[in-house]
Protein backbone atom coordinates (compact mmCIF):
# COMPACT_ATOMS: atom_id res chain seq x y z
CA UNK A 1 0.00 0.00 0.00
CA UNK A 2 2.75 2.34 1.00
CA UNK A 3 4.64 1.58 -2.17
CA UNK A 4 1.64 2.46 -4.34
CA UNK A 5 1.09 5.72 -2.46
CA UNK A 6 4.74 6.57 -2.87
CA UNK A 7 4.65 5.96 -6.59
CA UNK A 8 1.60 8.21 -6.93
CA UNK A 9 3.19 10.90 -4.84
CA UNK A 10 6.44 10.59 -6.70
CA UNK A 11 4.61 11.01 -9.95
CA UNK A 12 2.94 14.22 -8.69
CA UNK A 13 6.21 15.60 -7.41
CA UNK A 14 8.20 14.63 -10.46
CA UNK A 15 5.66 16.39 -12.68
CA UNK A 16 6.15 19.47 -10.55
CA UNK A 17 9.93 19.12 -10.74
CA UNK A 18 9.76 18.72 -14.50
CA UNK A 19 7.62 21.82 -14.70
CA UNK A 20 10.07 23.74 -12.55
CA UNK A 21 13.00 22.55 -14.62
CA UNK A 22 11.14 23.59 -17.76
CA UNK A 23 10.50 27.04 -16.36
CA UNK A 24 14.08 27.33 -15.13
CA UNK A 25 15.59 26.29 -18.46
CA UNK A 26 13.28 28.63 -20.39
CA UNK A 27 14.18 31.43 -17.97
CA UNK A 28 17.88 30.72 -18.32
CA UNK A 29 17.70 30.86 -22.08
CA UNK A 30 15.76 34.09 -22.03
CA UNK A 31 18.07 35.84 -19.59
CA UNK A 32 21.20 34.38 -21.13
CA UNK A 33 20.16 35.71 -24.53
CA UNK A 34 19.66 39.15 -23.05
CA UNK A 35 23.06 39.11 -21.33
CA UNK A 36 25.03 37.74 -24.23
CA UNK A 37 24.21 40.87 -26.16
CA UNK A 38 25.96 42.75 -23.36
CA UNK A 39 29.00 40.53 -23.89
CA UNK A 40 29.56 39.81 -20.21
CA UNK A 41 28.99 36.09 -20.22
CA UNK A 42 31.97 35.07 -22.30
CA UNK A 43 33.46 31.94 -20.82
CA UNK A 44 30.44 31.22 -18.61
CA UNK A 45 29.08 27.70 -18.30
CA UNK A 46 26.12 26.32 -16.41
CA UNK A 47 26.97 24.04 -13.54
CA UNK A 48 27.82 23.90 -9.87
CA UNK A 49 31.04 25.76 -9.04
CA UNK A 50 33.24 23.92 -6.56
CA UNK A 51 33.42 26.66 -3.96
CA UNK A 52 35.42 25.69 -0.86
CA UNK A 53 35.34 28.99 0.98
CA UNK A 54 34.01 32.53 0.56
CA UNK A 55 36.52 35.13 1.68
CA UNK A 56 35.25 38.22 -0.12
CA UNK A 57 32.34 39.27 -2.32
CA UNK A 58 32.01 42.07 -4.89
CA UNK A 59 29.46 42.90 -7.54
CA UNK A 60 30.41 43.50 -11.15
CA UNK A 61 28.20 44.46 -14.07
CA UNK A 62 24.71 43.08 -14.83
CA UNK A 63 24.23 41.22 -11.55
CA UNK A 64 27.52 39.32 -11.79
CA UNK A 65 28.74 38.45 -8.29
CA UNK A 66 32.48 37.88 -7.81
CA UNK A 67 33.35 35.49 -5.05
CA UNK A 68 36.90 35.15 -3.73
CA UNK A 69 37.66 31.60 -2.59
CA UNK A 70 40.87 31.50 -0.54
CA UNK A 71 40.77 27.72 -0.10
CA UNK A 72 40.83 26.96 -3.81
CA UNK A 73 42.77 30.15 -4.71
CA UNK A 74 40.10 30.99 -7.26
CA UNK A 75 37.84 33.91 -8.14
CA UNK A 76 34.37 32.82 -9.27
CA UNK A 77 32.01 35.03 -11.28
CA UNK A 78 28.40 34.00 -10.69
CA UNK A 79 25.50 35.24 -12.78
CA UNK A 80 22.89 35.94 -10.09
CA UNK A 81 20.25 36.80 -12.75
CA UNK A 82 19.28 39.49 -10.27
CA UNK A 83 19.72 42.44 -12.59
CA UNK A 84 16.53 44.52 -12.52
CA UNK A 85 17.51 48.04 -11.62
CA UNK A 86 15.83 50.00 -8.88
CA UNK A 87 17.11 53.47 -8.00
CA UNK A 88 16.27 53.62 -4.32
CA UNK A 89 16.09 50.85 -1.78
CA UNK A 90 13.60 50.87 1.08
CA UNK A 91 15.56 51.15 4.30
CA UNK A 92 16.40 47.76 5.79
CA UNK A 93 16.49 46.83 9.45
CA UNK A 94 16.97 43.30 10.76
CA UNK A 95 17.67 43.19 14.48
CA UNK A 96 19.58 40.16 15.84
CA UNK A 97 20.34 39.03 12.32
CA UNK A 98 22.82 36.42 13.64
CA UNK A 99 20.03 34.71 15.60
CA UNK A 100 17.78 34.74 12.55
CA UNK A 101 20.47 33.35 10.24
CA UNK A 102 21.43 30.71 12.82
CA UNK A 103 17.81 29.57 13.17
CA UNK A 104 17.46 29.35 9.37
CA UNK A 105 20.62 27.24 9.27
CA UNK A 106 19.45 25.08 12.16
CA UNK A 107 22.22 26.03 14.55
CA UNK A 108 23.14 28.52 17.30
CA UNK A 109 24.41 32.09 16.71
CA UNK A 110 27.84 31.29 18.20
CA UNK A 111 28.35 28.69 15.46
CA UNK A 112 28.15 31.12 12.54
CA UNK A 113 30.38 33.92 11.25
CA UNK A 114 29.35 36.57 8.72
CA UNK A 115 32.21 36.62 6.22
CA UNK A 116 31.17 39.41 3.88
CA UNK A 117 28.12 41.39 2.91
CA UNK A 118 27.59 43.29 -0.34
CA UNK A 119 24.75 45.10 -2.06
CA UNK A 120 23.80 44.30 -5.65
CA UNK A 121 24.06 47.82 -7.12
CA UNK A 122 21.20 47.10 -9.57
CA UNK A 123 18.52 45.33 -7.51
CA UNK A 124 19.78 46.63 -4.12
CA UNK A 125 19.38 43.10 -2.75
CA UNK A 126 21.99 42.20 -0.14
CA UNK A 127 24.21 39.14 -0.57
CA UNK A 128 25.78 37.79 2.56
CA UNK A 129 28.36 35.03 2.94
CA UNK A 130 28.17 33.05 6.17
CA UNK A 131 30.42 30.30 7.46
CA UNK A 132 29.26 27.75 9.96
CA UNK A 133 31.40 25.83 12.42
CA UNK A 134 31.89 23.02 9.86
CA UNK A 135 33.60 25.46 7.52
CA UNK A 136 31.03 25.18 4.76
CA UNK A 137 30.29 28.57 3.24
CA UNK A 138 26.68 29.57 2.58
CA UNK A 139 25.49 32.43 0.40
CA UNK A 140 22.33 34.22 1.54
CA UNK A 141 20.22 36.81 -0.26
CA UNK A 142 18.45 39.43 1.81
CA UNK A 143 15.49 41.30 0.32
CA UNK A 144 13.80 43.64 2.76
CA UNK A 145 13.54 41.59 5.93
CA UNK A 146 13.44 38.27 4.10
CA UNK A 147 16.56 36.08 4.31
CA UNK A 148 16.78 33.22 1.83
CA UNK A 149 19.44 30.85 0.54
CA UNK A 150 21.09 31.75 -2.74
CA UNK A 151 21.63 28.36 -4.33
CA UNK A 152 24.97 27.81 -6.03
CA UNK A 153 23.83 24.67 -7.84
CA UNK A 154 23.25 24.89 -11.58
CA UNK A 155 24.25 28.51 -11.98
CA UNK A 156 25.94 30.30 -14.87
CA UNK A 157 29.50 30.90 -13.76
CA UNK A 158 33.11 31.31 -14.83
CA UNK A 159 36.28 31.25 -12.77
CA UNK A 160 39.94 32.15 -12.75
CA UNK A 161 42.68 30.57 -10.63
CA UNK A 162 45.03 32.86 -8.75
CA UNK A 163 48.24 31.53 -10.17
CA UNK A 164 51.68 32.98 -9.94
CA UNK A 165 54.12 33.08 -12.82
CA UNK A 166 53.62 30.07 -15.11
CA UNK A 167 55.05 26.90 -13.64
CA UNK A 168 55.60 28.36 -10.23
CA UNK A 169 52.31 27.22 -8.76
CA UNK A 170 53.11 23.59 -8.09
CA UNK A 171 50.44 21.18 -6.90
CA UNK A 172 50.78 18.34 -4.43
CA UNK A 173 50.03 14.74 -5.32
CA UNK A 174 46.32 15.21 -4.76
CA UNK A 175 46.32 18.15 -7.13
CA UNK A 176 45.86 20.75 -4.42
CA UNK A 177 47.78 24.00 -4.54
CA UNK A 178 50.74 24.07 -2.22
CA UNK A 179 50.21 27.65 -1.24
CA UNK A 180 47.31 28.74 0.91
CA UNK A 181 45.91 32.14 0.08
CA UNK A 182 44.13 34.57 2.22
CA UNK A 183 42.07 36.90 0.04
CA UNK A 184 41.62 40.07 2.08
CA UNK A 185 39.56 42.14 -0.36
CA UNK A 186 38.04 42.00 -3.79
CA UNK A 187 36.72 44.75 -6.06
CA UNK A 188 35.57 45.37 -9.62
CA UNK A 189 36.64 48.58 -11.31
CA UNK A 190 37.03 49.55 -14.99
CA UNK A 191 36.25 46.07 -16.27
CA UNK A 192 38.84 44.45 -14.03
CA UNK A 193 38.69 42.31 -10.91
CA UNK A 194 41.17 43.44 -8.28
CA UNK A 195 42.26 41.11 -5.49
CA UNK A 196 44.48 41.72 -2.47
CA UNK A 197 45.87 38.96 -0.32
CA UNK A 198 48.67 37.13 1.40
CA UNK A 199 50.11 33.66 0.99
CA UNK A 200 51.07 31.30 3.81
CA UNK A 201 54.60 31.01 2.58
CA UNK A 202 56.76 34.00 1.72
CA UNK A 203 55.90 37.32 3.26
CA UNK A 204 54.79 39.45 0.39
CA UNK A 205 51.70 41.40 -0.36
CA UNK A 206 50.00 40.25 -3.50
CA UNK A 207 47.75 42.46 -5.54
CA UNK A 208 46.23 41.16 -8.73
CA UNK A 209 44.41 42.81 -11.57
CA UNK A 210 42.42 40.36 -13.69
CA UNK A 211 40.49 41.51 -16.79
CA UNK A 212 36.85 40.40 -16.90
CA UNK A 213 35.34 38.42 -18.67
CA UNK A 214 38.00 35.90 -17.65
CA UNK A 215 39.80 34.87 -20.83
CA UNK A 216 41.56 31.70 -21.82
CA UNK A 217 44.81 33.56 -21.39
CA UNK A 218 45.28 34.61 -17.81
CA UNK A 219 46.23 38.19 -18.20
CA UNK A 220 46.29 38.80 -14.48
CA UNK A 221 49.08 40.93 -13.20
CA UNK A 222 50.66 40.08 -9.88
CA UNK A 223 52.17 43.18 -8.38
CA UNK A 224 54.69 44.03 -5.75
CA UNK A 225 53.43 47.14 -4.07
CA UNK A 226 55.01 48.97 -1.20
CA UNK A 227 53.73 51.74 0.92
CA UNK A 228 55.74 54.76 1.81
CA UNK A 229 58.74 54.12 3.93
CA UNK A 230 58.82 55.41 7.46
CA UNK A 231 62.32 56.55 8.10
CA UNK A 232 64.43 54.28 5.96
CA UNK A 233 62.40 51.09 5.87
CA UNK A 234 59.72 50.18 3.40
CA UNK A 235 57.25 47.35 3.51
CA UNK A 236 55.07 45.29 1.28
CA UNK A 237 52.47 44.38 3.92
CA UNK A 238 49.16 42.90 2.83
CA UNK A 239 46.39 45.33 1.96
CA UNK A 240 43.40 44.81 4.26
CA UNK A 241 40.84 46.77 2.26
CA UNK A 242 40.79 48.98 -0.82
CA UNK A 243 38.71 50.97 -3.24
CA UNK A 244 39.37 52.87 -6.47
CA UNK A 245 38.71 56.57 -6.85
CA UNK A 246 39.44 59.46 -9.16
CA UNK A 247 41.59 62.16 -7.60
CA UNK A 248 42.56 65.30 -9.53
CA UNK A 249 41.45 63.62 -12.74
CA UNK A 250 43.57 60.51 -12.19
CA UNK A 251 42.47 57.08 -10.98
CA UNK A 252 44.03 55.75 -7.79
CA UNK A 253 43.92 52.58 -5.78
CA UNK A 254 43.08 53.77 -2.26
CA UNK A 255 44.30 51.11 0.17
CA UNK A 256 44.54 50.64 3.90
CA UNK A 257 46.62 48.29 6.02
CA UNK A 258 46.90 47.04 9.58
CA UNK A 259 47.55 50.03 11.85
CA UNK A 260 45.57 52.06 9.35
CA UNK A 261 47.83 53.99 7.02
CA UNK A 262 45.86 55.28 4.01
CA UNK A 263 47.96 54.81 0.89
CA UNK A 264 47.44 55.91 -2.73
CA UNK A 265 48.74 54.05 -5.77
CA UNK A 266 48.22 55.52 -9.27
CA UNK A 267 46.28 52.84 -11.20
CA UNK A 268 48.21 53.43 -14.42
CA UNK A 269 51.47 52.56 -12.63
CA UNK A 270 50.22 49.19 -11.42
CA UNK A 271 51.86 47.10 -14.09
CA UNK A 272 53.24 43.58 -13.76
CA UNK A 273 56.87 43.23 -12.89
CA UNK A 274 57.18 46.73 -11.54
CA UNK A 275 58.02 47.81 -8.04
CA UNK A 276 55.24 50.26 -7.25
CA UNK A 277 55.57 52.59 -4.32
CA UNK A 278 52.46 54.12 -2.82
CA UNK A 279 52.12 57.50 -1.16
CA UNK A 280 50.92 57.44 2.45
CA UNK A 281 48.49 60.31 2.92
CA UNK A 282 47.08 59.42 6.30
CA UNK A 283 47.92 57.59 9.49
CA UNK A 284 44.63 56.83 11.18
CA UNK A 285 45.95 55.09 14.27
CA UNK A 286 47.85 52.06 15.53
CA UNK A 287 46.30 49.04 17.20
CA UNK A 288 43.57 48.95 14.60
CA UNK A 289 42.75 47.21 11.35
CA UNK A 290 40.57 48.72 8.64
CA UNK A 291 37.68 46.40 7.73
CA UNK A 292 35.73 47.92 4.86
CA UNK A 293 35.82 51.01 2.65
CA UNK A 294 33.16 52.59 0.48
CA UNK A 295 32.79 55.82 -1.48
CA UNK A 296 29.62 57.92 -1.11
CA UNK A 297 28.56 61.16 -2.79
CA UNK A 298 26.60 64.05 -1.37
CA UNK A 299 26.13 67.13 -3.49
CA UNK A 300 29.46 67.76 -5.19
CA UNK A 301 31.46 66.06 -2.46
CA UNK A 302 32.78 62.52 -2.49
CA UNK A 303 33.46 60.81 0.84
CA UNK A 304 35.46 57.78 1.83
CA UNK A 305 33.75 55.86 4.65
CA UNK A 306 35.87 53.32 6.48
CA UNK A 307 34.97 50.78 9.17
CA UNK A 308 37.58 49.60 11.65
CA UNK A 309 38.31 46.81 14.11
CA UNK A 310 39.13 49.04 17.07
CA UNK A 311 37.99 52.51 16.03
CA UNK A 312 34.67 54.12 15.09
CA UNK A 313 33.70 54.75 11.48
CA UNK A 314 35.95 57.26 9.70
CA UNK A 315 34.80 59.74 7.10
CA UNK A 316 37.35 61.35 4.80
CA UNK A 317 36.56 64.01 2.19
CA UNK A 318 38.19 63.11 -1.11
CA UNK A 319 38.83 66.84 -1.70
CA UNK A 320 41.11 66.77 1.34
CA UNK A 321 42.99 63.78 -0.07
CA UNK A 322 43.29 65.60 -3.41
CA UNK A 323 44.73 68.68 -1.77
CA UNK A 324 47.14 66.75 0.46
CA UNK A 325 50.34 66.91 -1.53
CA UNK A 326 52.66 65.42 1.04
CA UNK A 327 53.72 61.93 1.87
CA UNK A 328 54.08 60.75 5.43
CA UNK A 329 57.58 59.44 5.71
CA UNK A 330 58.24 59.93 9.36
CA UNK A 331 56.48 57.90 11.99
CA UNK A 332 53.82 59.39 14.20
CA UNK A 333 55.65 59.72 17.49
CA UNK A 334 52.77 59.98 19.95
CA UNK A 335 51.09 56.70 20.84
CA UNK A 336 47.91 56.02 18.87
CA UNK A 337 48.09 59.51 17.36
CA UNK A 338 47.06 60.21 13.79
CA UNK A 339 48.54 62.30 11.02
CA UNK A 340 48.07 63.41 7.43
CA UNK A 341 44.70 63.99 5.80
CA UNK A 342 41.95 65.26 8.06
CA UNK A 343 39.24 62.78 8.90
CA UNK A 344 36.08 62.76 10.98
CA UNK A 345 35.25 60.00 13.46
CA UNK A 346 31.57 59.18 13.24
CA UNK A 347 29.81 58.19 16.46
CA UNK A 348 29.32 54.57 15.39
CA UNK A 349 31.48 51.73 16.69
CA UNK A 350 31.89 48.01 16.00
CA UNK A 351 30.78 48.20 12.38
CA UNK A 352 31.75 44.81 10.97
CA UNK A 353 30.42 45.20 7.43
CA UNK A 354 29.59 48.21 5.35
CA UNK A 355 28.29 48.79 1.81
CA UNK A 356 26.58 51.42 -0.29
CA UNK A 357 22.87 50.55 -0.43
CA UNK A 358 21.97 53.30 -2.89
CA UNK A 359 23.06 56.87 -3.64
CA UNK A 360 21.85 58.14 -0.28
CA UNK A 361 21.94 55.13 2.04
CA UNK A 362 24.56 52.86 3.62
CA UNK A 363 23.90 49.35 4.91
CA UNK A 364 25.66 48.58 8.18
CA UNK A 365 26.22 45.34 10.07
CA UNK A 366 26.97 46.37 13.63
CA UNK A 367 27.74 44.56 16.86
CA UNK A 368 25.88 46.60 19.45
CA UNK A 369 27.28 47.17 22.91
CA UNK A 370 24.65 44.78 24.33
CA UNK A 371 26.04 42.03 22.09
CA UNK A 372 23.27 42.11 19.47
CA UNK A 373 24.26 41.89 15.82
CA UNK A 374 21.99 44.20 13.84
CA UNK A 375 21.69 45.02 10.15
CA UNK A 376 20.43 48.56 9.62
CA UNK A 377 20.40 51.44 7.18
CA UNK A 378 22.14 54.77 7.69
CA UNK A 379 21.08 57.73 5.62
CA UNK A 380 23.19 60.57 4.23
CA UNK A 381 23.22 62.47 7.51
CA UNK A 382 26.56 60.72 7.98
CA UNK A 383 27.91 62.59 4.97
Q: Taking CB under 8 A as the criterion, which residues in 159-178 touch another protein?
A: 170, 176-178
Report which secondary-structure segment, H or E, holds 192. strand 192-199
- 101 versus 193: smaller Cβ distance to another protein: 101
Residue 379, number of CB atoms within 10 A of its CB: 11
In the three-class reduction of DSSP (H, G, I as helix; E, B as strand; rest coil), residue 61 is classed as helix
Cα(382)–Cα(348) distance, integer angstroms: 10
CA nearest to 160, candidates 137, 141, 183: 183
DSSP label of 21: H
276 binds another protein (CB under 8 A): no
Residues 300-339: x/- map of binding to another protein (CB under 8 A)? ---------x---------------------xxx-xx---
Task: Say how far apart CA 188 and CA 323 lie, in whole Å.
Answer: 26
> Footprint of another protein on residues 337-356 (CB under 8 A)?
none
Contact at 8 Å (CB) between 316 and 262? yes
- Pick 25 or 344: Cβ nearer another protein: 25
Binding positions for another protein, 21-80, rule CB under 8 A: 21-22, 25, 52-53, 55, 70-71
Among residues 122, 161, 259, 348, the one that binds another protein under rule CB under 8 A: 259
When binding is defined by CB under 8 A, the residue of 32, 122, 161, 286 that contacts another protein is: 286
**Contacting residue, 12, 26, 29, 38, with another protein by CB under 8 A:** 12
287 binds another protein (CB under 8 A): yes
Closest CA to 145 of 86, 84, 104, 87: 104
- DSSP class of 23: H
Binding residues among 96-135 for another protein as defined by CB under 8 A? 99-100, 103-108, 111, 113, 115, 131-135
Q: CB-wise, 2 or 248, nearer to another protein?
A: 2
Among 143, 289, 350, 377, binds another protein (CB under 8 A): 289
Q: Which DSSP symbol is given to 70?
A: T
- Residues in contact with another protein, counted by CB under 8 A, come to a total of 77
Burial 261-290 (b: 16+ CB within 10 A, else e): bbbbbebeebeeeeebbbbbbbbbbbebbb
Nearer to another protein, 192 or 277 (CB): 277
Residues 208 to 227: which contact another protein by CB under 8 A?
none
Burial class (CB in 10 A: 0-12, 13-18, 19+), 164: middle
* Residue number with CB closer to another protein (16 or 250): 16
Nearest distance from C-beta of residue 167 to another protein, angstroms: 10
Q: Work out whether 1 is an interface residue with another protein (CB under 8 A).
A: no
For position 370 contacting another protein by CB under 8 A, the verdict is no
Amino acid sequence: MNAIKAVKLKSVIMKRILFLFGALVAGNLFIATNYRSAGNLTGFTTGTPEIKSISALAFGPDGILFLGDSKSATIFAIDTKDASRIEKSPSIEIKNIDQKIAALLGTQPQNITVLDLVVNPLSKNIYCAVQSIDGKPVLLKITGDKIQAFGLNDVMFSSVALTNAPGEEAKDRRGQPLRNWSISDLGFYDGKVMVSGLSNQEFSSTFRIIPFPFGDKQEQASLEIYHAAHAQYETNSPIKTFTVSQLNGKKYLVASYTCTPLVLFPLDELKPGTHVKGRTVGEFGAGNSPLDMITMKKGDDLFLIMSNSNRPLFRVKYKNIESYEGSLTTPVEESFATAGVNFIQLPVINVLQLDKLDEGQIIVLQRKTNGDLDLWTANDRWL
